[in-house]
Structure 1
Amino acid sequence: MLVTLDKIRQQVAGKHPVIDAWLDVRRNLLVEYMQLAGLMPPYRKTLPTKEELSDFCDRLVDYVSAGHFEIYEILIAAYEKAEGRHLTLTNRLIDRIQDTTESILDFNERYGDGCDDEMPELEADLSQLGLTLEERFKFEDKLVLVLNVLSEEEQAAAAETR
């Protein structure tokens, strides 16, 4: 997921500062997830603490909220400005992203506000969350790449009118 994210960041770097910042937040969230799940050094031998889980959930919900209430609105406005080109695709992608939002909010509900001392399903839930995030990021990347295409089309049209 980090390699894919880095490729997307290279393709769109500097074109949309808000998108750049959002992708940076995603990268930090992804690294935190991988550390929490014990997928990168230092490899975790114990379950994360309630506080670690709660902090992660806060950042996870912030990321999801920024997508829904800021980033997707920017993307939709750009598509509408482009006279609706790619708007149908955008709406389908946002619907698919919404499906992942439900799973993410379920994880937050379970672990975000502190939880029982024993968390017997945490490893399975973290694994499922990883799959959900991977799916979500794939759809978000498509949205960002479509915006990149629109920007390139707009630049080409502007160059033709000169």
Structure 2
Amino acid sequence: MLESCQNAQERWGGVHKLIDRWLLERHELIQAYDTLGAHPDALAEKQKPLQEFCGSLVDYVSAGHFEVYEQLTGEAKAFNDKRGLELAETLYPRIDVITEKLLAFNDLCDEGKCVAEKFKELGGLLHERFELEDCLIEVLHTAHKQKAAVQA
């Protein structure tokens, strides 16, 4: 997962400060996941790091939904990018499903019911979400960057 995060930063770093910050938050989230995942059976003993991870998880998910996705969709509309808007319409529902599962994990942890099995499932969900987000960023920003250069 960390490698794909680094590849995303190399491809889109500097394109937009919001996305740069978000990709940095993703990188930090992955590092925290990997640290906790080294011994997932001992999650009960790692309450403070687990709470910090969950806080980062909620912050990352929220930034995606309330900042980054809105920005990407807004750019697609501004550039009349039908392909990008269609992609967003296709991918957002799956991202929403993943979001619900991520937030349900956070709720479990808030209730003190975080178990290793759910934590391991979280890794697959995060990986899928990152791939979907990368697809959105690549299609929308690549198209817009090229259109902006033509208009300039």
TM-score, length-scaled by structure 2: 0.90
Residue 139 (structure 2) aligned to one of 130, 146, 149:
146
Distance in 2 of aligned mates of 1:95 and 1:138: 14
Distance in 2 of aligned mates of 1:49 and 1:152: 44
| Contact 1:51-1:114 at 8 Å conserved across structures | no
Q: Which has the larger radius of gyration?
A: 1
Q: Deviations over 1:3-28 (max 9, x none)?
A: 11111111111111110010000000
What is the Cα deviation at residue 44 of structure 1?
A: 7.2
What is the Cα deviation at residue 108 of structure 1?
A: 0.4
* RMSD of aligned alpha carbons: 1.8
Q: Which residue of 1 aligns with 2:85?
A: 87
Distance in 2 of aligned mates of 1:8 and 1:143: 11
Q: Which residue of 2 aligns with 1:34?
A: 34
Q: Secondary structure at the match of 2:42?
A: coil
Distance in 2 of aligned mates of 1:129 and 1:62: 16
Higher helix share: 2
Q: Secondary structure at the match of 2:15?
A: coil
Q: Percent identity?
A: 36
Q: Secondary structure at the match of 2:81?
A: coil
Q: For 1:59-98, what aligned pairs fall within 5 Å after superposition?
A: 59-85=56-82, 86-98=84-96
Q: Which residue of 1 aligns with 2:120?
A: 127
Q: Deviations over 1:123-147 (max 9, x none)?
A: 1111100000011111011111012
Is there any run of 5+ residues in structure 1 with no aligned partner, and where?
Answer: none
Higher alpha-carbon deviation: 26-35 or 92-101:
92-101
Distance in 2 of aligned mates of 1:14 and 1:31: 21
Is there any run of 5+ residues in structure 2 with no aligned partner, and where?
Answer: none
Distance in 2 of aligned mates of 1:98 and 1:36: 25
Q: Deviations over 1:15-71 (max 9, x none)?
A: 111100100000000000010111xxxx67833422222221111011100100011
